[in-house]
Amino acid sequence: MAKPAPVSISAFDKAAALKLTPVSRETEARLDRYVDLLVAWQAKTNLIAPSTLPQLWTRHISDSLQLLDLAPNARRWLDFGSGGGFPGVVLACAMAEHPGASVQLVERIAKKAAFLREALRVTGALGSVVLADIGDYVDSLSEPVDCVTARAVAPLHMLLGFAAPLVQRGAKALFLKGQDVEAELTEATKYWNIEPLLHPSRTGGHGWIVELNKIERR
């Protein structure tokens, strides 16, 4: 008797992720193309910690998708330090269903920026890649942004410095943070007047999303 095909960990992980953060068939197809590209590039460029590959869908894709519910009306997104594309490329894949939406991905490492461009191309997601330092880019930006995001890029007090001009012009900031969020908030409030909203990550672990609608220098 033929043995049943082994259930691959990634298929199981993908199913868990889609239960946690459901998406349309079209977005799922775009995310599949992104995952294929990421896995191919990961062999030659370190885009994510190799130990997290088996949980790619829950650890990285759901982690990114969960931001959408916190800014359901946002159409113009800006992701700081996109690296391998989290959350920026994932958001761009999901936002492709909204005409006129776009996600800008800011990354200062040329090889990662090249990967991000290829990811937007193969997925057909709506967005653009900016090869620049975040601070320089924000200084040069005049068009409005609805929501600014970042994951694993810099300590909170530095992210607040980057995001402040955008939040002061009406943007919301959503920063994915780990278990040290309280210490980061304590440090940040030495320099900034903020009224943070803390959302526990839906993907479990000790993650938090820091939502900010006001950032003013003390």
Ligand X SMILES: C[S@@+](CC[C@H](N)C(=O)[O-])C[C@H]1O[C@@H](n2cnc3c(N)ncnc32)[C@H](O)[C@@H]1O
Phi-psi map region of 204: left, alpha, beta (phi>0 left; psi -120 to 50 alpha): left
Q: Is 134 near ligand X (CB under 6 A)?
A: yes
* Distance between CA atoms of residues 79 and 85, nearest Å: 9
106 binds ligand X (CB under 6 A): yes
112, 116, 129, 145: residue in contact with ligand X (rule CB under 6 A): 112
Q: What is the DSSP letter of 206?
A: T
Mark out the alpha helices in 56-199 (DSSP H runs).
63-65, 88-95, 110-123, 134-140, 156-168, 181-188
Backbone phi, then psi, for 202, in 5-degree steps? -75, -15
Cβ of residue 107: shortest distance to ligand X, in angstroms?
5
**Which of 27-35, 69-77, 94-102, 108-116 is the region at the interface with ligand X (rule: CB under 6 A)?**
108-116
- For residues 163 to 202, the per-residue mask of contacts with ligand X, x marking binding by CB under 6 A and - elsewhere, is ----------------------------------------
CB of residue 183 to ligand X, shortest distance in Å: 19
Please, what is the minimum distance in Å from the beta carbon of residue 201 to ligand X?
13
- Judged by CB under 6 A, the residue of 33, 76, 108, 202 near ligand X is 108
DSSP 22-88: ---HHHHHHHHHHHHHHHHHHTTS--S-GGGGGGIIIIIIIHHHGGGGGSTT--EEEEES-TTTTTH
The answer to the question of residue 76 lying near ligand X (CB under 6 A) is: no
Total residues contacting ligand X (rule CB under 6 A)?
Answer: 17
Q: Is 207 annotated as a binding residue?
A: no
CB within 8 Å of 111: residues ≥ 6 apart = 45
Estimate to the nearest angstrom the gap between the alpha carbon of 84 and the chain centroid.
10
76 is in an annotated binding site: no
Q: Which of residues 41-70 bind ligand X (CB under 6 A)?
A: 48
Mark the binding-site residues for S-adenosyl-L-methionine, compressed into ranges: 81, 86, 151
Residues binding ligand X (CB under 6 A): 48, 81-84, 86, 106-109, 112, 133-134, 151-154
